[in-house]
Structures are given as structure tokens and as C-alpha cells.
């Protein structure tokens, strides 16, 4: 076994216990006499599994009964368009809060379907700070307010849920879902690609307040309509059954390891360890994000001399520290510290960083 | 090991060799030191894999260079809408050939985006016959002609590719792709959900003639636009990486076992075996489809007395013959005989049918 520490931003490291269980039962799942991949999504066994998975997630995240839980395909990017088509009428306005690459993209993809208003915009900071809540220009007539609680590329995270009054708050939680307790009732809709904290890529989680399902009035194919997916319990068409199953294993893994409060404590400690190493390096390493906006999940950092980047990455790989190369938009490094990354992985990274600095200081 | 014969319509049986390889390397893929599920889709290793997969598929199906190959999410149902949005301008007409449940659904989902014309319609036969080509009302101004080469529920299959002149022919090949040689150049676009002959659910294959990518002129989100997916090599957003990988293993399995010509011969023999047993049962079993329209992939059949259905299904399960229950729209039985079903599975089914008839004749 030569598995090592994998800091990939997504698809990302999954809990080894989850992978081991999936491996054990890959050819024969429960008493199906077949792989879980090979059975009908509408059969009793799989339907019982999805009910179990939903119940596990509802317990884990304390999801109120008046929220629907959907497991769809297409990633968060498909939702950028679909949420506008479903939550707004043509010509209606929606408020977008720009805090990094992903919130920008969410606004751009929604633009053909809703009048996008920039309610707040942190571009002037090069996305090193969050737009202060006091400066947001919210429109009480907006269909919804959209924001991105954690920006995977720029490494910003909202420390609190913004208060937006009675307009439904819609959040792309792709890179921080289930990393801490979630106050679902504060949101109109939460959505997340699975490939960071939930499971493999190819699955998207939606948690949507039931009354919002009635909003979609424009003509559209049923496959675009949240209400249709809800009526069909996410089986309007054949779902990604293996991804759904792996999400279920991951929810059980989270519960076994203490639930969301325990995840939050572990994630806090991991992030504190890494930021302390960066800040304590005397400028050898640098994270440009203002401290209270720093992401616990994605930590971009830069060496004082970019000419050392290639050597850093090669040394890290040799030390078993994988996928630390930063996003091409920013360069430098990025360490993603999702639930599946244990403290030992971060300790190993910090030890390597310190050793590298001694060798190149 | 108690894996048995799985006749599920989709998600369906996968080749055991494919599952065994996936199991072996589930935690460590090649030299990634991680699962193939845990690595970046944009990293060198995965990009090399997808290039290899596309090359394998192009060789297998002799795909001409002026066709793009895309691996997307959302199933064929999402394509029902997207193909209309991409291949037709608003207000343009398209011809649809109705041969069963799925072609009806394709037409219904396209209707918000194109003026759907029923070019041919086999409803009067209760979908036991194909609409004769001579009766088709084709419109030379149509954006495309859509048909469904194999109807999974009604068990009809077109024995030949219909000649439609210069209007692009668009085909939902979900349930018969790669079951026989494919004359790609006869089509404008071929699409297929993966969960029958390609791999697990959650992945959709598109093979589209390059010049058609320029047709999409209506305003829409980039995630809906085939041309965007083509430019980004199916990585406009995070793809279903594990499904893609499994598709690749399946393509190699098909090649190892003789390619599409060998699949065609095996599939012909399996279907002939089962239809002969049905037709030779003296009316105990019955398939209502006219012989030249019978599907090689999906064989619906009915017992002469529906009161025996439950006993038949229970006996079949005990004999290790799984998932034979017919679609709820038709009742009765259905045996799906995709590539991964070996002749021995069909022989076992036919032996059981004969034994059951002796016990209940």
C-alpha cells in the first residue's frame, strides 16, 4: 500500500474506510448477488438504500422536514443555470455576491435566465477579502440572494451566514458542505458538487425549501425542473447510482467519526496548523487572504520566490504530499483540507514545509 | 461468490473482468498513489487516461475524425432537451419517429425548444411494429430527424439505419450502443446513457458531427452548449471521473473479446436462443413484437397466464436469474441481453423457462 496524503481540490481524497468498504463489496453488494452498480435504481434494494442515505444525511445535518433533499447529476455548474431557471421568473432580478472565481461563474451562468445584480463585489481586493456585509446592496424584490460560502480557488470562506432578510439565500456549498454544522433553515437552497466532502464526482446534492419548488413557471423540459426531480425522489431519470451509494458510505463515516461538530473541530485544527506554519515562516510562505476570511478547506499559499515552486512540488511529491500545485489562475500552491484529510497529513505537510525552508532559506 | 445472471434493463450487468479490475485498483490506480476517484480530472494522469479511452472508442467504433466524442452527465433524458437546444434554432422544426416509450419521451422533452413534428408513429400497433419507412413524412426543412434505434421498454429495434437524406439523423442509442458495428457517418449525432453497454449510470456518451456544433445560437448557459463541452474536451466542469474510467475498462474488454463484430455475433445468438424458446413454447410464453422489429437487447415476454408471473419470478430468482420483472408500463417479463450477458446466462434462462412450463403447463 503506497497511498499517501492527497491535497487535491476535487475530485479529492475520500475516507479510506469508505474506499475499503466499496472495494470489498464492489462485486456483490448486500444480498443483491450483483454489484450495487448493476442493479435497478427503481428496485426495492436500491430504493431502500436511498431512503437510508437520506435519513442519515437528514440526521447528520439536522435538515428540517420542509426541505427536500435531491441527488442529481451535472455538478454545481449545471445548478448555476438551473437554480436561476427554477427560482426566478423570466425578467426577475437576483442578487449575487462576488467573492471569488466560483461566485463569478455562478453569476455568469445564471445571466441568460435572470437579471443578475451584483449586490457585493470583492474583486477590488483581488479576492483577498470578503465584501463587508454592511456594503451589500440588497434588493428586497430579488428572487434570491446567491453567495458562495467557500471559494475553492481563492481560499476565502464566510465565517458566518450572512443575514439577508426574507429573500431566500442560495448557497453553493460545494467545497465546504458537511465540514461543520449547517443551519439549513437559514437558506432557501443549498447545493454542492459531491467531489470534495461527499464522495466522487458526478453527483450533486440539493437541499431546497419545499415552497420554492413551485416557483418554476417558465416553459422548460421536465429534466430541468426541480419540482419534477422532487416528485420522483431524484429518480426522474436514471441517477448516478454508484456515486449515490458512495455518498451514503461517506455520511455513515462522518457519523461514526462524531458527526459535523467533530468534523468542524478537526477541520479547525488542521487549518490552524497550516496557517500558523505559513504565518510563522517569516515570509518564506505567504497566504494573501485576510485572516478572518481564510478558508478552512482550501489554503492557497505562495513561496517568497516562485522560482522555487517546481522544486517544492517535486520534493513534496517525493515526501508523499500530492496535488499541492495551485490553481492555474493563481499559481503557487494550494492545500485542500476536506473532511477526509487527517491531522497527520497536515502535520506531514507542515514538517515538509519547514524542512524545505531550512534547505532553501 | 454468489454472483448470478442479471437481466436488468439498466443499470445493468457489467463484465465481471471490468469489475474485478476496478476492485483490484480501487484504492490505488496505476502510479497515482490514490484512487482514480481521488485525482484531479485536469491532472496529467487522468488527461492521459481520457485520451486513451477516446482512442480506444474511436478504434472500436471506427469513428470518423470529423466527429467529436463527449463524455457528459445527466443521462439521455438531459440530452432530449439539450439536443433540441443545440441542433435547432428557436421556431425551427424537427422530425420525430415514434417507436416506443423512449422516442415519445424524447419528443416531449424537446417540445419547449423546437417545433416537434411526428414524422412517423407506431402507436396504433401498441408498439409491436416499427413504422414502415415508406410512410414517414419527412420535412426537408427540419433541423434534424430523431429516432430511437432500440426501444428498451417495448423491445423493438430497427434492423437497419433509416435513410433520411441530407437532414442530420439523431439517434438515442442508449440501449444498443456498441452491441454491433456502428456506421457513425450515417448520423449527425449519436448519444447514449452508459448504464447498459458502456458502464455504470451517471455518464452519457455523445458522438456528434463537428459542423453541427456551430448550430446553437440561442442564448443559454455554457453548460448547456455542446460546443463548449467540445472545446473543453468534456471538462467544462468536473466530469464523472469514475464512470469515465469504467467506460474505458469496458471498451478495452470489448476489444479484447473481438470488438463490435464479435459482440454482434454473440448478441445475435443470445437473442435467437431466447426468441426461439418463446416462439417454441406453444403459446406458454409470448413476445408480441413482429419478428423483424424484435430487439436483440431487450426481450419483453409474457406468460399465457399472468397469474403465474409471481411464481415465475420467484422461481427465476431462486435459480439465480435476476431482474426479469417487466417494466411497469407493460407488466410481464423482460430479459435484457446486453454485451455483458454471456450465452450461458441465456441458456440458463431458457432452461428455467422450459422447466417452469413443464411444471405449470
pLDDT tens for A187-222 read: 999 999 999 999 999 999 999 999 999 999 899 999
Q: Which residues in B lie closer than 8 A to residue A35 (C-beta atoms)? A: 14, 19
CA–CA distance, B73 with B245 (Å, rounded to integer): 14
Q: Is residue A103 in some structural domain?
A: yes
From residue A28, give the alpha-carbon distance in Å to each of A40, A173, A240, B65, B194. Answer: 14, 33, 18, 40, 20
Nearest to B174 by CA among B106, B232, B242: B106
Evaluate whether A361 touches A19 at the Cβ level (below 8 Å).
no
First to last CA, chain B: 34
Render pLDDT for A79-128 as a digit per residue (tens, 0 to 9): 999 999 999 999 999 999 999 999 999 999 999 999 999 999 999 999 99
Render pLDDT for A135-166 as a digit per residue (tens, 0 to 9): 999 999 999 999 999 999 999 999 999 999 99
Cβ pair A113:B221 closer than 8 A: yes
Evaluate whether A257 touches A244 at the Cβ level (below 8 Å).
no
Sheet holding B67-72, edge to edge: B67-72, B204-209, B189-193, B169-172, B145-147, B93-98, B115-121
Quick one: average pLDDT of B3-32? Answer: 97
Residue A132 exposure: Cα atoms within 13 Å on the Cβ side:
2
CA angle centred on B296, ends B109 and B279, rounded to 5°: 120
Q: Is residue A2 in some structural domain?
A: no
Instruction: Measure CB to CB from residue A222 to each of B2, B109, B222 and give the nearest one.
Output: B109
Cβ pair A322:B109 closer than 8 A: no
**Hey, of A84, A199, A223, which one would you mutate to test binding to chain B, going by the most B CBs within 10 A of its CB?**
A223
Render pLDDT for B95-141 as a digit per residue (tens, 0 to 9): 999 999 999 999 999 999 999 999 999 999 999 999 999 999 999 99
Active-site hit among A5, A56, A136, A196? A196
> Residue B192: in which H helix or E strand, if any?
strand B189-193
**Hey, of A7, A33, A107, A116, which one would you mutate to test binding to chain B, going by the most B CBs within 10 A of its CB?**
A33
Give the sign of the dihedral formed by CA B155, CA B159, CA B165, CA B166. Answer: positive
CA–CA distance, B182 with B197 (Å, rounded to integer): 14
Residue B33 has pLDDT above 60, yes or no: yes
Residue B309 has pLDDT above 60, yes or no: yes
C-alpha cell at A226: 426541480
In the block, which residue shows the cell 428586497? A140
* β-sheet bridge partners, residue B94: B116
Q: Is residue A80 in some structural domain?
A: yes
Residues B69, B179: one domain? Answer: yes
Residue B1 has pLDDT above 70, yes or no: no
C-alpha cell at A311: 522544486
Evaluate whether B203 touches B244 at the Cβ level (below 8 Å).
yes
Closest B-chain CA to A24: B23
Evaluate whether A79 touches A191 at the Cβ level (below 8 Å).
yes
Tell me how crowded residue A329 is: count the other CB atoms within 10 A of its CB. Answer: 9
Quick one: average pLDDT of B133-158? Answer: 97
CA–CA distance, B274 with B293 (Å, rounded to integer): 15
Q: Which residue among B203, B230, B256 closes a domain?
A: B256
Quick one: average pLDDT of A49-67? Answer: 98
C-alpha cell at A245: 451509494
Which residues of B are known catalytic residues? 102, 172, 196
Give the residue numbers spanning the domain of A312: 258-360
What's the pLDDT at A1?
A: 52
Render pLDDT for A1-15 as a digit per residue (tens, 0 to 9): 589 999 999 999 999
Pairing of strands B333-336, B298-303: antiparallel
Instruction: Measure CB to CB from residue A34 to each of B13, B236, B239 and give the nearest one.
Output: B13
C-alpha cell at B234: 468534456
Nearest to B243 by CA among A47, A205, A241: A241
Residue A318 has pLDDT above 70, yes or no: yes
Q: Is residue A354 in some structural domain?
A: yes
Residues A244, A339: one domain? Answer: no
Cβ pair B3:A33 closer than 8 A: yes
Residues A49, A36: one domain? Answer: yes
Closest Cα of chain A to B37: distance in Å?
6
Residues A244, A307: one domain? Answer: no
Residues 6+ apart with CB under 8 A from B194: B200, B201, B202, B203, B204, B205, B243, B247
Instruction: Name the 3-class secondary structure at B82.
Output: helix
Q: Which residues in B lie closer than 8 A to residue A38 (C-beta atoms)? A: 6, 8, 11-14
- Bond into B207 cis (ω within 30): no
Q: Radius of gyration of chain B from Cα atoms?
A: 21
Residues A228, A96: one domain? Answer: yes
What's the pLDDT at A258?
A: 98
C-alpha cell at A302: 505562495
Residues A276, A202: one domain? Answer: no
What's the pLDDT at A361?
A: 81
* β-sheet bridge partners, residue A285: A303
Residues A228, A280: one domain? Answer: no
What's the pLDDT at A352?
A: 98
Instruction: Name the 3-class secondary structure at B99.
Output: coil
Instruction: Measure CB to CB from residue B238 to each of A201, A237, A240 and give the nearest one.
Output: A201
Evaluate whether A16 touches B27 at the Cβ level (below 8 Å).
yes
Render pLDDT for A290-308 as a digit per residue (tens, 0 to 9): 999 999 999 999 999 999 9
Q: Is residue B325 in some structural domain?
A: yes
Pairing of strands A169-172, B150-151: unpaired
Q: What is the DSSP letter of B239?
A: -
Q: Is residue A173 in some structural domain?
A: yes
Q: Is residue A136 in some structural domain?
A: yes
Evaluate whether A7 touches A324 at the Cβ level (below 8 Å).
yes
Burial of residue A124, with CB atoms counted within 10 A of its CB: 0-12 exposed, 13-18 middle, 19 or more buried? exposed
CA–CA distance, A343 with A348 (Å, rounded to integer): 9
Closest A-chain CA to B174: A238
Q: Which residue among B204, B234, B256 closes a domain?
A: B256
Q: What are phi and psi of B340, to 5 degrees?
A: -75, -10
Interface confidence: ipTM more than 0.90: yes
Burial of residue B81, with CB atoms counted within 10 A of its CB: 0-12 exposed, 13-18 middle, 19 or more buried? buried
Evaluate whether A148 touches A171 at the Cβ level (below 8 Å).
yes
Cβ pair A241:B8 closer than 8 A: no
Nearest to B224 by CA among A347, A80, A191: A80
Q: Which residues in B lie closer than 8 A to residue A20 (C-beta atoms)? A: 27
Residues B195, B330: one domain? Answer: no
Q: Tell me whether residue A325 is one of the annotated catalytic residues.
A: no
% of chain B surpassing 90 pLDDT = 98
Residues A129, A57: one domain? Answer: yes
Evaluate whether B223 touches A77 at the Cβ level (below 8 Å).
yes
Q: For chain A, give the mean pLDDT.
A: 97
CA–CA distance, A28 with A37 (Å, rounded to integer): 10
Evaluate whether A214 touches A197 at the Cβ level (below 8 Å).
no
The CATH number that applies at residue A356 is 3.90.1150.10
Cβ pair A238:B10 closer than 8 A: yes
Closest A-chain CA to B222: A109
DSSP structure string for B187-210: -SEEEEESTTTTSSSS-EEEEEEG
Render pLDDT for A260-272 as a digit per residue (tens, 0 to 9): 999 999 999 999 9
Q: Where are the alpha helices (DSSP H) in B220-342?
A: 226-231, 241-256, 259-279, 309-318
Q: Which residue among A208, A231, A256 closes a domain?
A: A256
Nearest to B267 by CA among B196, B322, B200, B192: B196
Cβ pair B34:A6 closer than 8 A: yes
Evaluate whether B295 touches B268 at the Cβ level (below 8 Å).
no
Cβ pair A239:B202 closer than 8 A: yes
The domain total for chain B is 2
First to last CA, chain A: 34
Active-site hit among A29, A136, A172, A244? A172
Pairing of strands A156-157, A150-151: antiparallel
Residue A54 has pLDDT above 80, yes or no: yes
Residues B313, B239: one domain? Answer: no
Q: Is residue A159 in some structural domain?
A: yes
Four-CA torsion A37, B331, A72, B222, nearest 10 degrees:
110
Count the helix, strand and coil residues of chain B and give each as a percent rounded to the nearest 5: 40, 15, 45
* β-sheet bridge partners, residue A98: A121
What's the pLDDT at B233?
A: 97
The CATH number that applies at residue A139 is 3.40.640.10
Nearest to B83 by CA among B175, B190, B177: B190
* β-sheet bridge partners, residue B69: B207
What's the pLDDT at A230?
A: 98
Four-CA torsion A339, A342, A348, A353, nearest 10 degrees:
20
Burial of residue B328, with CB atoms counted within 10 A of its CB: 0-12 exposed, 13-18 middle, 19 or more buried? exposed
Residue B190 — pLDDT band, cuts 50, 70, 90?
A: very high
Residues 6+ apart with CB under 8 A from A290: A128, A129, A130
Does pTM surpass 0.90?
yes
Residues B214, B272: one domain? Answer: no
Evaluate whether B11 touches B353 at the Cβ level (below 8 Å).
no
- Bond into B11 cis (ω within 30): yes
Residues B103, B180: one domain? Answer: yes
Evaluate whether A22 touches A241 at the Cβ level (below 8 Å).
no
Instruction: Name the 3-class secondary structure at A300.
Output: strand
Amino acid at each position: 500500500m503506497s497511498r499517501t496524503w492527497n491535497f487535491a481540490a476535487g475530485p479529492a481524497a475520500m475516507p479510506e474506510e469508505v474506499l475499503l468498504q466499496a472495494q470489498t463489496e464492489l462485486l456483490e453488494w448486500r444480498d443483491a448477488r450483483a454489484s450495487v452498480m448493476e442493479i435497478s435504481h427503481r428496485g426495492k434494494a436500491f430504493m431502500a438504500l436511498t431512503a437510508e442515505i437520506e435519513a442519515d444525511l437528514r440526521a447528520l445535518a439536522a435538515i428540517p422536514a420542509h426541505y427536500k433533499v435531491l441527488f442529481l447529476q451535472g455538478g454545481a455548474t449545471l445548478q448555476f443555470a438551473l437554480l436561476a431557471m427554477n427560482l426566478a421568473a423570466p425578467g426577475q432580478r437576483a442578487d449575487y455576491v462576488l467573492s471569488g472565481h466560483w461566485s463569478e461563474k455562478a453569476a455568469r451562468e445564471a445571466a441568460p435566465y435572470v437579471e443578475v445584480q451584483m449586490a457585493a463585489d470583492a474583486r477590488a481586493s483581488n479576492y483577498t477579502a470578503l465584501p463587508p456585509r454592511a456594503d451589500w446592496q440588497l434588493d428586497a424584490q430579488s428572487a434570491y440572494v446567491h453567495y458562495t460560502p467557500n471559494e475553492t480557488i481563492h481560499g476565502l470562506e464566510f465565517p458566518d451566514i450572512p443575514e439577508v432578510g426574507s429573500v431566500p439565500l442560495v448557497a453553493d456549498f460545494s467545497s465546504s458542505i458537511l465540514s461543520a454544522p449547517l443551519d439549513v433553515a437559514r437558506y432557501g437552497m443549498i447545493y454542492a458538487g459531491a467531489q470534495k466532502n461527499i464522495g466522487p464526482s458526478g453527483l450533486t446534492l440539493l437541499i431546497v425549501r419545499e415552497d420554492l419548488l413551485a416557483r418554476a413557471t417558465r416553459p422548460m423540459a421536465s429534466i430541468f425542473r426541480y419540482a419534477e426531480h422532487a416528485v420522483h425522489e431524484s429518480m426522474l431519470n436514471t441517477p448516478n447510482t454508484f456515486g449515490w451509494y458512495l455518498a451514503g458510505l461517506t455520511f455513515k463515516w462522518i457519523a461514526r467519526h462524531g458527526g459535523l461538530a467533530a468534523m468542524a473541530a478537526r477541520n479547525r485544527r488542521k487549518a490552524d496548523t497550516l496557517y500558523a506554519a505559513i504565518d510563522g515562516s517569516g515570509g518564506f510562505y505567504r497566504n494573501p487572504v485576510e485572516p478572518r476570511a481564510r478558508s478552512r478547506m482550501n489554503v492557497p499559499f505562495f513561496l517568497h520566490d516562485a522560482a522555487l515552486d517546481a522544486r517544492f512540488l517535486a520534493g513534496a511529491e517525493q515526501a508523499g504530499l500530492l496535488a499541492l500545485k495551485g490553481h492555474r489562475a493563481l499559481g503557487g500552491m494550494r492545500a485542500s483540507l476536506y473532511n477526509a484529510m487527517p491531522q497527520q497529513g497536515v502535520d506531514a505537510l507542515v514538517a515538509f514545509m519547514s524542512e524545505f525552508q531550512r534547505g532553501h532559506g
